[in-house]
Amino acid sequence: MDAIIEGLEKALQLIVSGDPEVLNISARSLLVSGTATLLAAAVSLPLGLAIGVRSFRGKRIVRGVFNALLGIPTVALGVILYLFFSRSGPLGFLHLMYTTLGIALGQAVLITPIAVSFITSAIESVDPEIRHLARTLGAGETEASFAVLRESASGVALAIIASFNRAVAELGIALMIGGNIRGLTRVLTTAIAIETGRGELALGIALAIILLLLVTAVTIVTSVVGRRR
């Protein structure tokens, strides 16, 4: 019990004092998972819009595949990406192993199904007549799709938040692709796991608190902004 209280005290000290190591790791986590979320959004928005708005043969299968990928274990995906990114793998020439870009790409792969699935649901929940309405008012295909996207803005925002939170909180990919190299690829989750394992309980707790704060803050800010709109 003492160890926990001591750990908490030290953790708060590390946070309040603005410990460079803690700041560094937090900023890297934010950057890596932020990049992953942007990459996933760039793919998922048009994809989710297309699946949500259009009716085509095999739509249910496509939706089923993305839904099935929602629960993919990060360690399993980490192994697969490791095989692709490692020097002898098909993407080895890109030298993505042990880089933050490698982690970001891996996380993007992880969260794209989440984003696609949630965005598709948000689009599908919009009254189909909205699209028709836009068309009858003179909108082209693209403009009408934007009108639908705008109607589903809060659902889409939720999809993006959920994706970011999944990325920033995952461990498997960050560990296997990034390797937890201090000052280079160490992010919040890898640092928490390694530091706690090494007995650096205070640092582990401090980083865990920051991770929780980060996830909560992103959710709150997005929902407040969403409500204002």
Partner 1 sequence: MNPVSLLETRDLVKRYDDVVALDGVNLEIEQGDFLALVGPNGSGKTTLLRIIAAIEPSTSGEIYYRGKIVEGSEMLRRATTMVFQKAVVFSRSVYDNVAYGLRLRKMSKAEVDSRVGEALRQVELDGFERRNARKLSGGEQQRVSLARAIALDVELLLLDEPTANLDPRSSAIMERIISWINREGGATIVLATHNLLQAGNFGGKLALLMNGKLTQVGGADQLLRSLVGPMWRFAGHENIFLGEAVPEGDGTALISLQDDLKLVAVTPRKGKVVAQVRPEDIIVSLAPISSSARNVLRGKVIGITDQESSVMVRVDAGKEFVVRITHKSFREMSLTLGTSVYLIFKASAVEVV
Q: Least distance from C-beta 136 to partner 1, angstroms? A: 4
Alpha-carbon distance of 200 to 197, in angstroms, equals 7
Residue with tokens 């990928």: 69
**Contacting residue, 18, 71, 138, 197, with partner 1 by CB under 8 A:** 138
Taking the alpha carbons at both ends of the chain, their separation in whole angstroms is 46
Residues 109-128, mask of contacts with partner 1 (x by CB under 8 A): ------------------x-
Q: Note whether 216 binds partner 1 by CB under 8 A.
A: no
Binding flag, residue 142, partner 1 (CB under 8 A): no
Which distant-in-sequence residues (6+ apart) come within 8 Å of 84 by Cβ? 90, 91
Residue 175 near partner 1 by CB under 8 A = no
User: Is 157 a residue that touches partner 1 (CB under 8 A)?
Assistant: no
CB of 134 to partner 1, least distance (A): 7
Q: Is 156 in the site for partner 1 (CB under 8 A)?
A: no
Q: Which stretch binds partner 1 (CB under 8 A): 49-57, 130-138, 165-173, 177-185?
A: 130-138
Tell me the C-alpha distance between 149 and 47, whole Å.
12
Interface pick for partner 1 out of 136, 184, 199, 225 (rule CB under 8 A): 136
DSSP 71: T
Whether the Cβ atoms of residue 106 and residue 173 lie closer than 8 Å to each other: yes
Counting residues that bind partner 1 (by CB under 8 A) gives 16
Which letter does DSSP use for residue 54 in this model? -
In the complex, minimum distance from the CB of residue 147 to partner 1, in angstroms, rounded to a whole number: 7
| Residue 44 CB, nearest approach to partner 1 (Å) | 22
Which of 108, 125, 159 lies closest to 52 in space, CA to CA? 125
* Alpha carbon distance 190, 181 (integer Å): 9
Start-end of H helices in the chain? 2-16, 20-53, 59-69, 74-85, 100-124, 128-136, 141-151, 153-169, 172-173, 188-197, 201-228
Q: Which stretch binds partner 1 (CB under 8 A): 1-9, 147-155, 160-168, 200-208?
A: 147-155
| Contact between 195 and partner 1 per CB under 8 A | no
**Shortest separation between residue 124's beta carbon and partner 1, angstroms:** 16
Q: Which of 139, 157, 171, 215 binds partner 1 (CB under 8 A)?
A: 139
What residues make contact with partner 1 under the rule CB under 8 A? Answer: 127, 129-130, 132-140, 143, 147, 150-151
